[in-house]
Structure 1
Amino acid sequence: MIPALNEENSIASVVRDVKTALPTASVLVVDDGSTDNTAENAAKAGALLLRLPFNLGIGGAVQSGYLFAMRNGYDVAVQIDGDGQHDPVFIPDMLTRLDSFDLVIGSRFMSNVGFRSTAMRRIGIGILSGLLKALTGQRFTDPTSGFRVANRRVIEHCAANYSQDFPEVESLLHLRREGLSIIESPVVMRQRSYGRSSINWTKSLWYMMKVSLSLCIGLARRRVP
């Protein structure tokens, strides 16, 4: 599943790359209220298309993908970004780890090559990693990564209970609270195919502060059966 917002320049190549890496997989693009030709280009590339009526944000888009997977009986869901940063060539290796774990996260920091984001974002990721270690007892080197492979247990949980604001980081807390097992797998990230990230150093700092507060509040939330 590929959540995408205004990625008309890269979405077709991402779909084709996934189809090359996983020839038998269904490829779903969740168009999160794009105002460009993202949906049309995804469909032309051969993807299934789920068009949201308006922009829900990354959390709503990803949860929509999990709902689609649950309701259509899929046992495995692969999440990959629509901007071309995630290389699908690593998906088969990540899939092999589902034999022993519920969720596999592609970590850019387990290898010394590829795109590793700005220094400020790396500092923020390090802080969030330390906070998650304190809250869950497990250390994650790349907790903000949206490159993930999930089994049916994770699909069902995320379809019913998924954070809307900071889904990548918060979902790790909730999944660990439910006793689900998570492991990271080394991947090499690529630069965005087109455009640039909207997150600068001030937004990175603000994001880190908000996520940290959200994680602490998340500990007090009632568990969803």
Structure 2
Amino acid sequence: MITAPTNPLIVLPAYNEEEALGDVLREIQAKLGAIPCLVIDDGSADRTSEVARDAGALVATLPLNLGVGGAMRVGFRYALENGYDCVVQIDADGQHDPSALPQLIAGLANADIVIGARFAGEGEYSVRGPRRWAMKVLSAILSKICGTKLTDTTSGFKSTGPRALRLFAKHYPAEYLGDTIEALVIAARAGCVVHQVPVSMRPRAGGVPSHNPIKAAIYLGRAFIALLFAMIRPPISIASTEGKLS
């Protein structure tokens, strides 16, 4: 049974994002008030942790770079252990508009996961070449797996409700693209309901993009390897996530 969350935590995985992070955190507080924000400093070599603390955020500093999946698992575990019933993931580089956060949280009244979709009719964000083709094919496949139309299955702007939070605190994948593709497969096979809402994207406010033309060229193959691994792994039930974290 899905219940509306009442105690959300905003989680920002961040790797060398000192340039944009402070403004992102201040914008979240300006638009949502004193909502708790947790920055996962994913092994940064710059002042990411210091900037986050100066802006009033909670900070978890990782000694090594684990990637988004590893950082988010830390966030899910922190949320579960500290009484939060909802996690909203937002990028630390300023591309995600915090104005969409209330919509992502409200959507959890009818879903376990709500994806902020970049290709659902809002904004002018676009991707070209092999990466765009991969996104379209993956969205078609994952729409069937999740039983609903999804147009942006690799979005990192999403909310997670109580049932999926318990699942992800123990079983969130850390591999490349696991935090998007494999996480959706795990959730759908566990019986979670997935919805999407349209969001707009903005240019990066600072830092270095994680994709370049060479990475984009190999994105297609790696994406489908991630999907293959997700499908061959045994399903996980939400019931198995009850009890203390190990």
TM-score (norm 2): 0.86
Determine the C-alpha separation between the residues in 1 that align with 2:84 and 2:147. Answer: 30
User: 2:14·2:40 contact (CA, 8 Å) conserved in 1?
Assistant: yes
> 1:27, 1:48 within 8 Å by CA — same for their partners in 2?
yes
Q: 1:95 to 1:136 in 2, by over 3 A?
A: closer
2:135 touches 2:152 (CA, 8 Å); kept in 1? Answer: yes
Answer yes or no: is 1:114 the counterpart of 2:103.
no
Aligned with 1:2: secondary structure?
strand
Q: Any idea what the Cα deviations from partners look like across 1:85-143, whole Å, max 9, x if unmatched?
A: 00000111222211111111101111242333444432221121123235444332011
Q: Quick check: 2:105–2:159 contact (8 Å CA) kept in 1?
A: yes
Q: Deviations over 1:34-55 (max 9, x none)?
A: 0001111111011110111111
The secondary structure found in structure 2 opposite 1:29 is strand
Whichever residue aligns with residue 188 of structure 2, its letter is: R
Change (3 A) 1:135 1:151: closer
For 1:84 and 1:117, how far apart are their aligned partners in 2? 18
**Unaligned regions of 5+ residues in structure 1, if any?**
none
1:94 aligns with 2:101: no
1:174 aligns to what? 186
1:218 aligns to what SS in structure 2?
helix
Asked if 1:24 corresponds to 2:24, the answer is no
Give the aligned partner of residue 222 of structure 1.
234
| Deviation digits for residues 159-193 of structure 1 (CA, Å, limit 9, x no counterpart) | 10011121111111110001100100011100111
Show the counterpart of 1:151: 161
> Counterparts of 1:1-225 in structure 2 under 5 Å?
1-165=11-175, 166=177, 167-224=179-236, 225=240
**Alpha-carbon deviation of 1:205?**
3.4
Preserved CA contact (<8 Å) 1:12 1:41: yes
- Would the alpha carbon gap of residues 145 and 65 (structure 1) be closer, same or farther in structure 2, given more than 3 Å must change? same
Flag the 1:183–1:6 CA change in 2: closer, same or farther, 3 A.
Answer: same
Separation in 2, partners of 1:8, 1:96: 30
**Matched residues in 2 for 1:197 and 1:119: separation?**
17
Amino acid at match of 2:197: S
Seq. identity, %: 38
CA RMSD of aligned residues (A): 1.6
- Partners in 2 of 1:31 and 1:223 — Cα distance? 31
- On the 8 A contact 2:123/2:199 being kept in 1, the answer is no
Task: Answer with 108-117 or 21-30: which moved more.
Answer: 108-117
| More moved, 115-124 vs 184-193 | 115-124
Q: Distance in 2 between matches of 1:36 and 1:18?
A: 22
Q: How far apart, CA to CA, are the structure 1 residues paired with 2:101 and 2:121?
A: 16
Give the aligned residue type for 1:202: I
